[in-house]
Structure 1
Amino acid sequence: MLGLWVAVLGPVSLYAQSASSAEPSLAVPSSQAGLVGGAGTSLAMPTPVAAPAPTAAPAPATALPFPTSPSGLGGTVVFGSQMFVGRFANMPFTGFNPDYQIAVGDRVLLRIWGAVTYEAYQNVDPQGNIFIPNVGPVSVLGVQNKDLNKQVEAQVRRTFRANVGVYASLDSAQPVRIYVTGFVRAPGLYGGVSSDSVLNFIDKAGGIDPDRGSYLSVKVLRGGKPRANINLYRFLLDGELDRLQFQDGDTVVVLPRQHTVTVMGEAQNAYVFELDRPEVSGSDIFYMARPKPTATHVSVVRNTGVQLTSEYHRLADAKPVMVRSGDLVTFTADKYTTTLLVRVDGDQQGDRSLVMPVGATLKDLMARLNPSPRANLDGVQLFRKSVQQRQKASLEVALRNLETAALTARSSTTEEANLRKSEADLMLNFTARARSIQPLGQVVLTDREEADKLLLEDGDVLNIPTRNHLVLLSGEVLFPNAQVYSPGASVDDYVQLAGGYTQSADTSKQIVLRSNGSVAPSGSNPEPGDEILILPKIESKNIEVTRSVTQILYQIAISAKVALGL
């Protein structure tokens, strides 16, 4: 099979080799063939003829495993430090750059078809030429990528005036090695191609040191002389990045940072910003920090010598204010709320969203409702975000105490240590599941006379349940279900109708939740709309673990109406 392949393609390949000193003919472009290309003539392309291995670029130096979220200045994140986490280093530029200038060492794909057939990859020689059989050397050094095909075609037309199609495109840019130094994490020599951006090489060096390096002053030196001065904030804020064409031996130098301002609060970019001078105007800070629409005021805390002084300005008046290096700028939403938005769910026939004045009570809200005749106004439920957050925080404290108790339990024997390890694994799995449960944030409304005096909060949700004669049963029962209310029936009666208790049920831990969020006294019979929760048994020799798990189960059952199993 190999001999047949050579026999078929051999003549064309041998012609290409004998006609010039170019590499063997190649049909399929290398992996970087899409890097740059030119516009060819309107003739059809020939069938590919051969495929030698492409010239390999030098392997880049291995980047160190640096942190993915560098920070500086006491933990405040520096603007720009989020760029260099390995993405640029792992993604070299392989797009079409029309302004790229052909350099020595670049590889050009050349195809000629028609009266004369020729196809090969040509490396630009030290004199800036590529050699075309029967045409001779063609100068391409310094030619822009967008003009490469025109340049080559014009030279070929001097020899072959008709019946010949020409296509030339840059297959791969010149491999280069660039020095990266200054205030980067890992100064050194790094490989790439001449079309790579400065971001690529800085990323390979681990990125700019956020505590010391500058994002405003990155210099590129060639032969010891300045080639470019790059401001990376232009790229971060406006998407602008100077296109550079690197040469072997160029040096990228990250200069030291000089001045900084810290921005906090209601800003889209709440970071430590670098300044190019000791003092800038407020408009410059606005441009970098991008205040949120909710921001109304800005405070400036100045660190002047041994004293701290503060200024407070309306956002509209703050642009002329001068901000100095070392200042702390905080954007705030200093608004006075005069109305509240309350949502009404359930059996409500009127508006679902009601605007109430600040200071309105639950009684005021009830007066504006338009419930249906089926509504159960005695069982209204009030859900509040602030209560939900406190319930979640309280649950988190209990879970941490449980983890501490499970992981610090002592053992006197190997067998006991193994049991403790298994128990700890079980508790960690339990806490992970418990953390995924979200409390409802329900406010218990038992005493309606006092509940009517309850002040509303913005975002409150009032649910009006429909009257029903069902009792819900969940937790450690064989068949959790909803049963028709039976007057005088006890919890055990409902459990028996659900198939009885499971083997892991703790029959002493029965919780009856009223629709208004309250817990019925022990031994009370369920009422219509109530929910029965049967909790699991806790088997542990560690008293602290047992106490913590019991507390957590009750917290989850009451705050989220969930009977969580072990």
Structure 2
Amino acid sequence: MLPDAPAPMVPARVDGRLPDNAPQNADYAANMASDAFGAQLFSGAFSRDSASVFNPSHVISVGDKIQLRMWNGYALDTVLTVDAGGNIVLPEVGPFRVQGTTNEQLQAAVAGVLRRVFAGRVAIYASLLAAQPVRVYVTGAVRRPGLYNGTSGDSVLRYLDQAGGIDPERGSFLDVAIKRGNQQLAVINLYDFLLKGELATRQLNNGDVILVHPRKKNTLVSGLAENARRFEFPGEQATLADIARLAKPMPQATHVRVTRNSGTLRNVEYFPIGMGSQIAIFGGDEIEFTADKRPGTITVRVEGEHAGPQEFVLPYGSRIQDVLSQVQYTPQSDPASIQLFRVSVKERQKILLGTALRSLEASVLTVRSGTPEEAQMRREEAGLVLQWIERAKKIEPTGQTMIAKSATRGQLLLENGDVLRVPVKDGLVVVNGEVLFPNAVAFEPDLDASDYIQQAGGYSQNADASRIVIAHRDGSFSDGNSNGTVRAGDEILVLPKVDVKTRQFAKDVFQILYQLAISAKVVLGL
């Protein structure tokens, strides 16, 4: 099968940027989202402008344009092109070889030869006007192999950027070769540029080739590292110390967890960072830098209606009473409904939701049908459910923990990052979900859940009137049908109907709808 032809070049605008519909823009967006170290280099920034004319190290070559100006007794303002012999033709002098001269040396060289003919009072100025336009092949593991325009002094990064960048799933950032015919001129390691600011420069000729070789062995780094990315390394293995020099662990990191790429089994090893030079890393291994020590202090925030400090730094092992004893309530505060939001609870809620969604997804993809008509119906239904699952995966739980009614809440241990929120006595009830006009309604003690729903316009066509959740400010929940008592500050969530034909689907979706309502206070219609 023949490889796909490269996409046609889209001309840049006057400001050097690609138009919005340029195919490279999708490549740049994918590069920014990639976990490969170095992929973010290629976002279109290098392809916008060429600054080769200002490079003092640029070596004059065939095709370059030189501007020559003379005045004070001899008037001349002209542009001279370096011919095939490497010469320019100077007035009263004739051919003069400039090929091989650097941009920095050009003025002195031209002025020196003209001084043999012209008097000292004649002013002479020579400068590089434009480097030789060239067309360079970019191939190998790049997103859009092809022939790209530039100048002889442009960097390799500019040509790679025009080609959409190195494909992070296939290409190597350690092994970018510049070839001229059968000769390899240079090999560029882009990690040197990213980490040390070093980039080998090579003047390119028309028809030169930039070849990105296949990706080397690699490892994924996560956790407490400044560069938590996927890194390549040459050879069959590297040491943890080699990877650490690239990933730059944070000061608080003390240990490293290495998950070995050993087929279906995941073997996990745990080491102090100090053993880095003794630990071998192989392709496909995963590295996580961790802080394996008890923190000396924790930070807790207090938000909402209070007059005291917003943030508290407490010794490790502090309890909620240590913070609440310092909170200064206002007349509008509602301390009886104080709320706790915890990162670890949010993570557990996210895991539980993910497990339920994966189970539903597996059920949708493995359901069987008895007839072609039933199969078509199942396929259409599965498509809708899968779209709903993708939306549900993006929902973030709040991490709220119910503590307001606990008699021993003051003894609850605090965790780093906890947020205590003091609600305000606002006298409102929020009606959300499948109602015609979701809104906040003034609290009336004589009204129940159905009354508030009617004030929000009543049920929508997609509402399930038998499934109403009342979310109280203290983190507790009640059924709006069996116990329709509503308190000031509550939120009434009317859940949608689940219109699926498969009974098991309906059961699983009902479970997830309740989970979303309780963990995130979100009503997600199907």
Task: Encode CA deviations 1:401-427: one digit per residue, 9 max, x unaligned.
Answer: 444555665666777666555544543
Q: Distance in 1 between matches of 2:216 and 2:433?
A: 63
Alignment match of 2:494 (pick from 521, 531, 534): 534
1:215 aligns with 2:169: no
1:448 is paired with a residue of what secondary structure?
Answer: coil
Q: Distance in 2 between matches of 1:400 and 1:168?
A: 66
- Structure 1 residues 188-337: aligned runs within 5 Å: 193-197=151-155, 215=174, 232-246=190-204, 266-269=224-227, 272=231, 274=233, 287-297=245-255, 331-337=289-295
Q: Distance in 1 between matches of 2:499 and 2:221?
A: 52
Q: Taking structure 1 as reference, are residues 221 and 486 closer, same or farther at Cα in structure 2, changes over 3 Å only?
A: closer
Q: Distance in 2 between matches of 1:529 and 1:163?
A: 88
What TM-score does the superposition give when structure 2 sets the normalisation length?
Answer: 0.71
Task: Encode CA deviations 1:270-308: one digit per residue, 9 max, x unaligned.
Answer: 5546479999995x7664442222223568999xxxxx9
1:354 aligns with 2:319: no
Q: Distance in 2 between matches of 1:540 and 1:278?
A: 52
Task: Name the residue aligned to 1:443.
Answer: 401
Q: Distance in 1 between matches of 2:451 and 2:434?
A: 15
The answer to whether the 8 Å contact 2:353/2:512 transfers is yes
Q: Taking structure 1 as reference, are residues 366 and 277 closer, same or farther at Cα in structure 2, changes over 3 Å only?
A: closer
Q: Taking structure 1 as reference, are residues 145 and 311 closer, same or farther at Cα in structure 2, changes over 3 Å only?
A: same
Task: Name the residue aligned to 2:513.
Answer: 553
Range with greater deviation from structure 2 (460-469 or 477-486): 477-486
Task: Name the residue aligned to 1:473.
Answer: 431
Q: How much does 1:368 deviate?
A: 3.6
Task: Encode CA deviations 1:221-271: one digit per residue, 9 max, x unaligned.
Answer: 8996x9767655432321112333345788889999999999765333455
Task: Name the residue aligned to 1:562.
Answer: 522
Q: Taking structure 1 as reference, are residues 551 and 91 closer, same or farther at Cα in structure 2, changes over 3 Å only?
A: farther
Quick one: which amino acid aligns to residue 132 of structure 2?
A
Task: Encode CA deviations 1:49-68: one digit per residue, 9 max, x unaligned.
Answer: xxxxxxxxxxxxxxxx9x97
Task: Name the residue aligned to 1:490.
Answer: 448
The answer to whether the 8 Å contact 2:178/2:208 transfers is no
Q: How much does 1:370 deviate?
A: 2.8
Quick one: which amino acid aligns to residue 153 of structure 2?
S
The answer to whether the 8 Å contact 1:93/1:197 transfers is no
Q: Distance in 2 between matches of 1:227 and 1:341?
A: 56
Q: Taking structure 1 as reference, are residues 485 and 543 closer, same or farther at Cα in structure 2, changes over 3 Å only?
A: same
Quick one: which amino acid aligns to residue 555 of structure 1?
Q
Q: How much does 1:489 deviate?
A: 3.1
Q: Distance in 2 between matches of 1:205 and 1:515?
A: 51
1:471 is paired with a residue of what secondary structure?
Answer: strand
What TM-score does the superposition give when structure 1 sets the normalisation length?
Answer: 0.67
Task: Name the residue aligned to 2:60.
Answer: 102
Aligned sequence identity (%):
39
Q: How much does 1:145 deviate?
A: 1.0
Range with greater deviation from structure 2 (418-427 or 210-219): 210-219
Work out which of the two has the higher radius of gyration on C-alpha atoms and give 1 or 2: 1
Q: Taking structure 1 as reference, are residues 523 and 195 closer, same or farther at Cα in structure 2, changes over 3 Å only?
A: same
Q: Taking structure 1 as reference, are residues 245 and 545 closer, same or farther at Cα in structure 2, changes over 3 Å only?
A: same
The answer to whether the 8 Å contact 1:512/1:533 transfers is yes
Task: Encode CA deviations 1:426-453: one digit per residue, 9 max, x unaligned.
Answer: 4344344434432221112375225444
Quick one: which amino acid aligns to residue 340 of structure 1?
I
Q: Distance in 2 between matches of 1:525 and 1:407?
A: 41
Q: Distance in 2 between matches of 1:447 and 1:259?
A: 55
Q: Distance in 2 between matches of 1:235 and 1:97?
A: 18
The answer to whether the 8 Å contact 1:344/1:353 transfers is yes
Q: Taking structure 1 as reference, are residues 324 and 354 closer, same or farther at Cα in structure 2, changes over 3 Å only?
A: closer
The answer to whether the 8 Å contact 1:296/1:334 transfers is yes
Alignment match of 1:505 (pick from 453, 459, 463): 463
The answer to whether the 8 Å contact 2:87/2:97 transfers is yes
Q: Taking structure 1 as reference, are residues 460 and 504 closer, same or farther at Cα in structure 2, changes over 3 Å only?
A: same
Quick one: which amino acid aligns to residue 507 of structure 1?
A
